[in-house]
Structure 1
């Protein structure tokens, strides 16, 4: 009997031991995300990318009440802060810095470390490219920024020459990895823009290089020419068709200007858009804007039922101009937004041709190709008739809700649309940049760069200019040139800000020109 009991106890202990050995597996939650499951299909790195891409764009105070207004694409009917704010050259909001560093630079540092440790070089270079996509926009606001020394203590700024050389060097590194991995498919699950197609990302690299080269064409002609010609000679090519356009997904969100315009009533068509689009009989106007809701607002152009607000206008009450033209209702249905288009590439190549860079056709061919691509991209017809218009010029503006000449302006633009090969390069460049400005609607940072860099289009000045010694004074016949360094940096990184101010070559004020904004003739 005892023998039977011993055998039973031994068997029981063996069974308990076996159960204990498998205890962890038996008690594992099959629905829990583990480190190993995250590594499947690159989830442990890929999840970082959609939020970074989404944050390349800002929203109301970063874009709409900033360069959307400064470059005269959209205007506000709302007299924010007593009518004294960014749009009237008194700085109230300066937050794009926080978005770029908090939502792109910081997470990209983390994902690059993970991707490097896991042996995912394409993910590393993709993160580096997204960094440049964000930082080349941020430097357009401030000039010197923290890039090559990001994450170090102290956090030192790069001068603009150092920064742009770093951009070009890193684009070389990115392209080398992309070229060696053309068949790589690991990005596809996380890439709403190009579905993981490395060849398409390579076209963006080349196009971005050309954009940066043109940006530097006046301040460093030799570097600009070398980089521009490199961009145009790369076998991978540029963004040449609208199917190649770099579109950033909204990831299920509403297009932000829709909320600002239809939801809050804080943005409307600008008076400059009214002046230029109507003066040029531009069919894209109906793709950009809805008609005004009050037919009495446009007696001077009854065939074009649109009305805009002057930027820097004297505003009394928000309700006064809510019946002016809203952005197009079609934007309520969009699922992504333009970041880099084939039309822009053609306008870049048109300017490169004027500057004598190798790799181009004639400036006229690229100019007209840019207009045609823009019409196609926006779904407008009549490009051939538009390009033949050699008489129409932008119209003068009258604000019917203000008395006398308050908020009115006389257009400074005398250029027509039709190409004139007998004109000098300044006149040709004005046509190119004016059309590039129109096409850049909803993506206005580069239009703001071009306006400061070239002086084109010849935009109206602010009616109301509240600049003062707090942030710097803008003359009545000039434009805001930059944003000051952010207060958190002034307070917590003062020595680095002082050094960065030295890089500017002028005070940390809104009237100080950036490195590439040289002033003077373009040729």
Structure 2
């Protein structure tokens, strides 16, 4: 009897082992290598970077180009010669510009950057502190872009739709709170990024160069500190002093060879988006405001920013004209450099950093000679475009004050219309000329101070949106001034 029981036990054990083996083989066989359960940061990072850059620099989708169709016209780098009423130049934009910016940055960039932080963080499937640092830096850049464009936005509760305690209707945070969080993240990013540490694959920005990511993180932190300096002077000065007082711990951009830009290749989907727009359409000219300033200063950058007319001269188009009036004026179009499919998309330059330091020195927020910093900033802008700054250029500027610094920064930021627009909204400089007699502007004639929230927030997150509008201290329109406005 005992022998029969033993045989029965061995039989059942054998069945169990076979079943277990079959189950393991079944699971292995039914794991689809083309649809992995977990996606590595290496695969998530390129798209996250690309989306943030395209939505900042330029996008080929019509009615979704905030930089090209709106900001570069509002800040009078460009002017429209057709479809003027419909696409930005008269201070009116289609709602798809708002939706395209909001939806893509949240759903295609930020959500991937958040996934990278979870996967690469302690205990994650792909622990890598350098991936964490990169994701924190790009997340800070992208959120700063969102809040500088819209004002209060979902931040602290955003990107938590798949968390253990999911939040599908996130609250809106004030710009002050968001800036505080972004600068903390950038400080953490600098700590996470270790030169000689684990490799970063999929880095289409700096090709895995960790030092350049550290420089970008610290330079961006300086920019945000300077941007809020009028509202939080003590905190901003402390951040600037921390970074500038220890360049070994907090390296920043040191030349045009290491600023933040995304290089492109001449392949559809990977080209410079400005090329895709300007090489196929002739709807834009260079604004007369920019052309006239460059001619006044005899500034050679005009040869980079604009193409000459047939007679070799340069002329601009006034902003806000009707289509009929604009069609009668011969004006320069955008320069050849921006028609190159491999031209880089720029996020932040060495020149911009020096302008930030020049302003901070002028305001007394950091130690330094604002005149020397301004000269270095202008020189870096010339060199960025392969030009030499004339030896007498500074003497052409007259009295150097904050308006001079910000006007020169406006010139140097050509192409970065969103950045130039933000600095104008913050400081009021440069002072724009009186509108052309034939110009017609909507928005009560006010150069837009922000863009409106997308319709999706009204339909899907209304209760929290109402709180965001209250934080604006003004209506959800394009005339409400944002928190950092001086």
Q: TM-score range by the shorter chain?
A: 0.7 to 0.9
Alignment CA distance shift 1:287-1:136 (3 Å): same
Does structure 1 residue 159 correspond to structure 2 residue 174? yes
- Deviation of 1:465 after TM superposition, in Å, equals 4.4
Counterparts of 1:245 and 1:291, CA distance in 2: 29
Alignment CA distance shift 1:465-1:501 (3 Å): farther
Counterparts of 2:67 and 2:372, CA distance in 1: 33
* Residue in structure 1 matched with residue 7 of structure 2 by the alignment: none
Does structure 1 residue 499 correspond to structure 2 residue 472? no
Note the alpha carbon deviations across 1:397-447, whole angstroms, 9 max, x for none: xxxxxxxxxxxxxxxxxxxx25x4xxxxxx511111111111111112221
- Deviation of 1:206 after TM superposition, in Å, equals 1.1
Give the unaligned 5+ runs of structure 2.
Answer: 1-17, 161-166
For the 8 Å contact 2:187–2:218, the answer to whether it is kept is no
Counterparts of 2:87 and 2:336, CA distance in 1: 28
* Residue in structure 2 matched with residue 428 of structure 1 by the alignment: 401
Counterparts of 1:212 and 1:508, CA distance in 2: 24
Q: Of the candidates 25, 40, 64, which is equivalent to residue 44 of structure 1?
A: 40
TM-score of the superposed pair, with normalisation by structure 2: 0.83
For the 8 Å contact 2:49–2:205, the answer to whether it is kept is no
* Residue in structure 1 matched with residue 333 of structure 2 by the alignment: 326
Note the alpha carbon deviations across 1:103-131, whole angstroms, 9 max, x for none: 21122233332223122232123112111
Note the alpha carbon deviations across 1:179-201, whole angstroms, 9 max, x for none: xx2212511x3223322122211
- Deviation of 1:212 after TM superposition, in Å, equals 0.5
TM-score of the superposed pair, with normalisation by structure 1: 0.77
Counterparts of 1:500 and 1:437, CA distance in 2: 30
For the 8 Å contact 2:358–2:369, the answer to whether it is kept is yes
Q: Of the candidates 221, 239, 246, which is equivalent to residue 260 of structure 2?
A: 246
- Deviation of 1:84 after TM superposition, in Å, equals 4.4
* Residue in structure 2 matched with residue 183 of structure 1 by the alignment: 196
- Deviation of 1:314 after TM superposition, in Å, equals 2.3
Note the alpha carbon deviations across 1:436-484, whole angstroms, 9 max, x for none: 11111111222111111111111235554443xxxxx43x4x4211111
Alignment of 1:1-80 (within 5 A): 44-56=40-52, 57-58=54-55, 59=59, 61-80=65-84
Counterparts of 2:472 and 2:172, CA distance in 1: 11
Q: Of the candidates 198, 206, 223, which is equivalent to residue 194 of structure 1?
A: 206
Aligned positions, number: 435
Alignment of 1:99-110 (within 5 A): 99-110=104-115
Counterparts of 1:365 and 1:229, CA distance in 2: 19
* Residue in structure 2 matched with residue 439 of structure 1 by the alignment: 412
Alignment of 1:411-426 (within 5 A): 417-418=397-398, 420=399
Greater shift after overlay, 48-57 or 280-289? 48-57
For the 8 Å contact 1:185–1:197, the answer to whether it is kept is no
Counterparts of 1:241 and 1:516, CA distance in 2: 28
* Residue in structure 2 matched with residue 286 of structure 1 by the alignment: 303
For the 8 Å contact 1:84–1:466, the answer to whether it is kept is no
Alignment CA distance shift 1:135-1:34 (3 Å): closer
* Residue in structure 1 matched with residue 457 of structure 2 by the alignment: 489
Instruction: Report the 3-state secondary structure (helix = DSSP H, G, I; strand = E; otherwise coil) of the residue aligned with 2:458.
Output: helix
Note the alpha carbon deviations across 1:367-403, whole angstroms, 9 max, x for none: 00001111111111243232232xxxxxxxxxxxxxx
Q: Of the candidates 363, 367, 371, which is equivalent to residue 370 of structure 2?
A: 363
Q: Of the candidates 126, 136, 152, which is equivalent to residue 144 of structure 1?
A: 152
Note the alpha carbon deviations across 1:468-502, whole angstroms, 9 max, x for none: xxxxx43x4x4211111111112221111110011
Instruction: Report the 3-state secondary structure (helix = DSSP H, G, I; strand = E; otherwise coil) of the residue aligned with 1:338.
Output: strand
Counterparts of 2:117 and 2:148, CA distance in 1: 25
Greater shift after overlay, 215-224 or 254-263? 254-263
Q: Of the candidates 340, 346, 351, which is equivalent to residue 338 of structure 1?
A: 346
Alignment CA distance shift 1:501-1:276 (3 Å): same
Q: CA RMSD in A?
A: 2.7
Alignment CA distance shift 1:466-1:493 (3 Å): farther
* Residue in structure 2 matched with residue 470 of structure 1 by the alignment: none
For the 8 Å contact 1:260–1:266, the answer to whether it is kept is no
* Residue in structure 2 matched with residue 354 of structure 1 by the alignment: 362
Give the unaligned 5+ runs of structure 1.
Answer: 1-16, 296-303, 390-416, 421-426, 468-472, 519-523
For the 8 Å contact 1:482–1:512, the answer to whether it is kept is yes
Alignment CA distance shift 1:272-1:466 (3 Å): closer
Q: Of the candidates 220, 227, 231, which is equivalent to residue 243 of structure 2?
A: 231
